[in-house]
Structure 1
């Protein structure tokens, strides 16, 4: 009897549970069918692609206010990064303030700079320049301005100018020289030049000894910068076809030319601009033409940087430097000067100016005679 009662109780419990399951199965089925119906409504549209049912249209219009229907990928620039330059800014006694002015005019956070006052300058002047470089907050931020604190002797005779340039390059590259003898031909040109990074690496490392041997040769020459780099690059197979025959300078010479060019003044301003050259020389210290270059060509106030795309400040009435607020240093905003430079570079790389003017040799006899004259004159002087 107990077993029968237990079975009956179990049967009733099972029957009740089944009834409970049947009670929620029906609403679940109805809910699923309704959900499928709503899903069907959202997928039905007219041939033009517009939703037919107003219920869906209201949802679509509401959501489109917050979600971009088609996300467009940001364009990826295929242009190479802007070029970077390394400058040696060197001077002598009394040139300290001019070096500061030149440094500020040429400065960009992505470039590298070495400044140097030679042994003729007094210790106080060198110390003042060192303080300027060390304490300027922009130079400190980017760490891209170095000073040769141990002044080099720089003269027009011998290899001192070249050695000073190589010293600056070694500071930037931390290179060293190697030696294996070789022969070379002589070339001459301007003492003002732009040298590529691979070529500077080569002059410092000198893996075939040509740079070092050439430097020893030029110890017997006057104004070695007018021949050393030209001779090295035009004798190196790796680099001789990379030369462009221009020093990118506007220079006013006498006719016939003397040892030094004219000092440029305001009277030369229009010719400087029309030359499309990015550099010019010579200038007297604080000549009014420099102020005109700063204001008209560089848009630079006294003691300020030349403003570029990296400067996002505004120039206020109180003379605030726009570069006191630094933005994205990779932004480049070419101005009229860039257009003039483009014109010059296009001319230099033209068919008639580029290849035909690379590493042109003088007549062998004249080149040899000139070399012998230099060696003989200096050799006689040394023997005395």
Structure 2
């Protein structure tokens, strides 16, 4: 155990060294320390993460499991089952959150009880995400990163691992996979015109394709990438409050666009002068794609376990309901007993199953091997060869 903690400390100091090199060379435009006193050399307190976890019909149990596997008292959570899911399923999820003692005590889990109808690949996925972000902004002024996940996502590291590593990073960073190389997407995504029925109907149906073609805009440059991201609070505030017109203009453009979630935030951040140099070109996920990628990735199974671990990513997708690989992740990577909240340094109860029944100091973090893996990924992403050359090009 002591040897493991020693290696975690070494890896953490390596991250700090990499960032310090950037700062020394005036190549890293972020503040490293949280305190307003610029003379202080103490590392910030642990950051707080704001999670948006969404699902559809028959995803209630998956959302519950994901919430348990992602829980930490420092974080904030917005959970949404869309309008296609039956009322009973949505009420059961709300009841679970309401009756979980730790959730009630801490008050950091919000169920979006007024469900939205959301069309896969449509603009309503983006508007739903923006609403969740606005709810989380209203809920607390203290979180640092917004992370969107679906019911088919699952963590590969503990929250102690994640918070420990994020504590060494500037709060301005935005983890968002992006590129302006549209390739086939220009013809198949940018030029067609669609209508999302979820904007005006109560029952879900597929996107309506209109017999129209349009030109690529000249007022801003299009960017595309993964729909999964970890965005800084400052960028989320910019998208939600929109103190200049770019976020609204881009949202209106993407209102009739196929696969809006793979374009909207990418286009806004790479056309916004204040944020275009804050991007880390990675979605923090392990995803198994065909080559070239198709619309859907492969479902992950036990056979993908080593690939997931070797990726050093903190999250993975897509998983099928109750796939045995989830039990393997719980047992071998997270140390989470079935049906229980994810253990962490804040859990001071007795026994394995009841460790998190008593709430301790939430700022106490006990990172494990997952922190080492994630720190290895971060060091590579922030390296001289990767960080600047991968930004908004």
Cα distance in 2 for partners of 1:168, 1:236 equals 22
Instruction: Give the equivalent residue in structure 2 for 1:328.
Output: 361
> 2:57: which partner in 1?
93
Structure richer in strand, relative to its length: 2
Contact 1:294 1:300 in 2 (8 A): yes
- Inter-partner Cα distance in structure 1 for 2:344 and 2:87: 34
CA contact (8 A) 1:92 1:120 kept: yes
| Counterparts of 1:357 and 1:135, CA distance in 2 | 45
Cα distance, 1:157–1:289 mapped onto 2, change above 3 Å: closer
Q: Does 1:346 align with 2:379?
A: yes
Q: 1:37-65 CA distances to partner (integer Å, 9 max, x unpaired)?
A: xxxxxxxxxxxxxxxxxxxxxxxxxxxxx
Tell me the secondary structure at the aligned position of residue 131 of structure 1.
helix
> Does the 8 Å CA contact 1:183/1:210 hold for their aligned counterparts?
no
Mapped contact 2:121–2:261 kept (Cα < 8 A):
no
* Residues 1-384 of structure 1 mapped to structure 2, 5 A cutoff: 78-174=42-138, 183-316=219-352, 320-360=353-393
Contact 1:234 1:359 in 2 (8 A): yes
TM-score after normalising by structure 1: 0.70
In structure 1, stretches of 5+ residues that fail to align are 1-75, 176-181, 361-384
Q: Give the distance between the partners of 1:335 and 1:204, measured in 2 at CA.
A: 35
C-alpha displacement of 1:93: 0.4
Q: Is the 8 A contact 1:305 1:321 kept in 2?
A: no
Deviation at 1:170, TM superposition (A): 1.1
The verdict on how the C-alpha distance between 1:119 and 1:278 changes in structure 2, with shifts beyond 3 A counting, is same
CA distance in 1, matches of 2:92, 2:340: 18
Query: For each residue in 1:12-41, what CA deviation from the matched residue of structure 2 results, as whole angstroms up to 9, or x when unmatched?
Result: xxxxxxxxxxxxxxxxxxxxxxxxxxxxxx
**CA RMSD, Structure 1 to Structure 2 (Å):** 1.6
Contact 1:310–1:328 under 8 Å retained in 2: yes
| Secondary structure of the corresponding residue to residue 361 of structure 2 | coil
The whole-number CA distance in structure 2 between the counterparts of 1:228 and 1:222 is 11
Structure 2 unaligned spans of 5+: 1-39, 140-217
Deviations 1:133-152 (A, max 9, x none): 11111111111100111111
8 Å contact 2:122–2:261 — kept in the other structure? no
Question: In 2, Cα distance between the equivalents of 1:310 and 1:117?
Answer: 29
Post-superposition CA distance 1:333-369 (Å, at most 9, x none) = 1110011000000000011110000011xxxxxxxxx
The TM-score normalised by the length of structure 2 is 0.68
Task: Specify which structure has the bigger relative contact order, considering alpha-carbon pairs within 8 angstroms and separated by 6 or more residues.
Answer: 2
Contact preservation (8 Å) 2:103, 2:109: yes
- 1:330 Cα deviation from its structure 2 partner: 0.5
Greater Rg over alpha carbons, structure: 1
**Would the alpha carbon gap of residues 81 and 308 (structure 1) be closer, same or farther in structure 2, given more than 3 Å must change?**
same
